[in-house]
Amino acid sequence: MQACSSLDSWRQHIGTKNPRLETCHPILHSLVESLNLPKVKNSAKGKVLVRAMYGAKVAIVYICSVFAAALSGSAPNLLDFSVLSTLPWASVFFDVQTTVNSEVRKMFSCGKFTGLRELDAVDACVKTLYPLLQDGFGSNEGEWFQNSVWDLRRTAEELSQGLDNLLKAVAGYFKIVSTGGYALLCNLRTSVGVPNSMLGRKVEEQALR
């Protein structure tokens, strides 16, 4: 039966570790070690630029660590950053990091294999349907079976929609980082007289990417 085969493939796939996610831990830690906040002398705008880019790098690496942990089901992929307390955004970042890391680790400690609620919901529906398809069900269980199929369809659609929303949010975030960083570079160029050719395209062209 095709339905049974599809559910069996899902069970095998969901229980298989992705080798790409398994290698995230050392990569993320190497990125953390490469982060630094260079000192800038005699340039107030240069100092602002360096701090802004450092903050963007910290945010990007941390967000990647949250995604890696959520998708791999491995809490060690979560990073605990230490940034200078003198940075204006440090306290907010620490609060967010503490809250998110605590919630993710709490989920994994309860036996969840992923940090995605929608994925958990689909897996729960599959676990309900699979034995019914394997062993069959009685005439009095027909309505329950139909409801289980409907639940699987609904949760699968929610998972698909959630992933689409996540993709759009991530794309929007990186666009903001890209255009914002370029705007800072252009601002710095104006103050120190750096030619356009050294900075590449205009901000408007960058925003159209």
Compute CA distances 25 → 2, 74, 85, 174, 188, whole Å. 38, 9, 25, 22, 36
Instruction: Express each pLDDT in 53-84 by its tens digit.
Output: 888 888 888 888 888 888 777 777 888 888 88
pLDDT average, residue stretch 130-158? 78
Provide the token pair at 185.
């570079």
pTM over the 0.75 mark:
no
DSSP character for 21? H
The better pLDDT of the pair 86, 142 is held by 86
Under 8 Å between Cβ of 68 and 76? no
- Distance CA(150)–CA(97), nearest Å, equals 37
Q: Residue 111 pLDDT more than 80?
A: no
Domain ranges of the chain: 2-207
pLDDT at 86 over 80: yes
Least confident of 6-10, 148-152, 186-190: 186-190
